[in-house]
Amino acid sequence: MKIGYLGAGTWGSALTALLASQGHQVKVWDRNTDLIHHLKTSRTHPKLSGFKASENVIYCENIEDAIEDADLLVESVTSSGIRPVLQKVHEMKTDKMCPIIITSKGIEQKTGLLFPEVALEVLGKENKHLIGIISGPSHAEEVIHQLPTSVVASSFDPELMKTIVKVFTSPDFRVYPNADIYGVAFGGAFKNIIAIACGISDGLGYGINTKAALMTRGLHEMRKLCTAKKAIPETLNGLSGLGDLIVTCSSTLSRNYRFGRLVAEGLSLEEAKEKIGMIVEGVYTTVSGYELGKKYGIPIPITEAAYKVLYEGFPSSNAVKALLQRTIKEEHL
């Protein structure tokens, strides 16, 4: 297939390598022209050790060149950038729209829309059958080294879901189909908030008991709120929920986890982001999650605590203590 890839960050580059290894021709665009120039000339990625671009990969400075004759589009842009990128795609391919696969994880601020909902709004209901998604526990640093990885694919259309599974599955990258596109999208987005909370906990010197509590109760928050987004709670027991939660809350490869640790160590939000040196999607999604909880009147105390620490200057240690001092209720699963 001819694949247009939008986004050349570490995750986008890992999936680009995966697709190219399957024999597909991949044209890659990124708004960072310096990064595109580096990739084009060196065929290596400055933030992804072990990456070497295949001959099947072509780097494009203009988005038009990447998507013009594509049979399939894949995006890996930032949460704040997904809407304008989708708008550009719609403008260019109105008469010859092809399937587009979302791999970014987040919830749009102010609208509270999951990314498949953003795509549906931008591309129109007539193109609903062309929208798909991939999510799950998958660090780029491990995918690029072909370490065994399992993820989930979903779509509004069963046939496109089968296509995604076929296109992305490799001997080391296993793709499971799941028809609950909103559940798959929600789990991948919301776990980043809980990962920041776990990073804060570890940064304060708390133990694995505390982290286990945050992850378990965080999953409970996810299950409560996901129903407001028309998602199936049981989906979050799978790879795109629990699986991704384990990876993101436990690994130092996780930007969200590392960001939380830096905040707990005394760095400001901006200082921590600068030290990470790459986009930390959980910082954006913490606002979205907090807004969703308020909108639907659903208590999500861990998310609320993370929001207060990041955006209201609430001390990290006080936030953890406040969570432990909440009124005890019977555990409901």
Catalytically active residues are: 191
Q: Do 20 and 26 meet the contact criterion of CB atoms below 8 Å apart?
A: yes
The C-alpha atoms of residue 12 and residue 6 are separated, in whole angstroms, by 8
Give exposure, 282-302, as e/b (b: 16+ Cβ within 10 Å): bbbbbbbbbbbbeeeeeebeb
Rounded to 5 degrees, φ, ψ at 69 are -115, 25
| H or E, element range at 134 | strand 131-135
Three-class SS state of 169? coil
Give me 314's structure tokens: 């609430």
Treating both helix axes as pointing N-terminal to C-terminal, what angle do 208-226 and 301-311 enclose, rounded to 10 degrees? 110
Beta strand pairing call for 149-155 and 131-135: antiparallel
Dihedral Cα 132, 138, 142, 145, nearest 10 deg: -20
Distance of CA 90 to the CA centre of its chain: 22
β-pairing, 2-6 with 25-29? parallel
Cβ contact 191:237 at 8 Å: no
Provide Rg for the chain, Cα atoms. Answer: 19
Strands 72-75 vs 2-6: parallel, antiparallel or unpaired: parallel
**Contact predicate 150/134, CB 8 Å:** no
Q: Are 268 and 261 in contact (CB under 8 A)?
A: no
Rounded CA separation 198/219 (Å): 12
